[in-house]
Every structure is written in C-alpha cells, then in structure tokens.
Amino acid sequence: MDNERSAKINIGGQEYELILTTKATKEIAGRYGGLENLGEKLMKSENFEMALDEIVWLITLMANQSLLIHNLRNPDNKKLLLTQEEVELLTSPLELATYKNALTEAMFKGTKRNVESEDGSKNVQTG
C-alpha cells in the first residue's frame, strides 16, 4: 500500500498494515476525545486488562483501515475485516506490547508530525 502512512504487524501469520486514516482518526477522537489524549489514556490505564483492551481495539481499528481501502478499490475481491476477538486469539500479551510501537509509528506517519523525544527528562521513577 502506502508505506509513507503505514506500519506493518503480523497477526496469526498474516501481515497487516496499520494505517491512520481520517476515518480512524474520527473513531479515535470519539473514543478518547482526540489523538492527543490517546497516549495519556494508554499509559494511565487503571489495570493491565484495560490497557490490553485499548491496544486490541486500536490494532483492530488501524489494521482494518488497510482492508477497508483494499475493499473500496477491489469490490470484486473483498477481504474480511479483523475482529477484536480474532486479534485477542491470535496474539499474546507480549506481542501486543511490541505492537504499541507499530501503532505509534503509524500514528506519527498519519499525522506527519515530527516529534522530538525528551531524553530522560520525564522518565523519573518515584516510589
């Protein structure tokens, strides 16, 4: 597809492209109140299960964007969309943790923002 906008992940032996489309951005905004709130929401998830639910939801949403684009362009050769249950069954929690990087990459590519990381200034552990 469009490598400028996507990051690839492998779910159950099949490669999927994560793409941040306008459609996905609207759904994320509806759930989180905007892209800027997403990272904060994921980091502040009250428990591990909730964080997994959010990552599964995002992976399903963004992987399905490439499938929806394919289906739009190839109406005679439609692919089935991923479900959250399939993502949960075909991944491990460890894989989901690594997919967070791909999600972040796809979002940065989608918004075309050049974000500089603040090396160590906010990584202070307390307690």
Span 15-29, average pLDDT: 93
How high is the pLDDT of residue 39? Answer: 67
| CB burial readout 82-108, b (16+ within 10 A) else e | beeebbeeebeeeebeebbebbbebbe
Whether 56 maps to a domain, the answer reads yes
User: What does the block give as tokens for 96?
Assistant: 């989901």
Nearest partner of 20 among 82, 88, 93, 106, judged by Cα: 106
Tally of domains within the chain: 1
Give me the count of residues in the chain.
127
Whether 62 maps to a domain, the answer reads yes
Whether 126 maps to a domain, the answer reads no
pLDDT in tens, 62-100: 999 999 999 999 999 999 999 999 999 999 988 887 888
More confident: 121 or 29? 29
Q: What is the rounded average pLDDT for all residues in the chain?
A: 82
Which domain, by its residues, includes 99?
Answer: 6-111
With a cut of 80, say whether residue 106 has pLDDT above it: yes
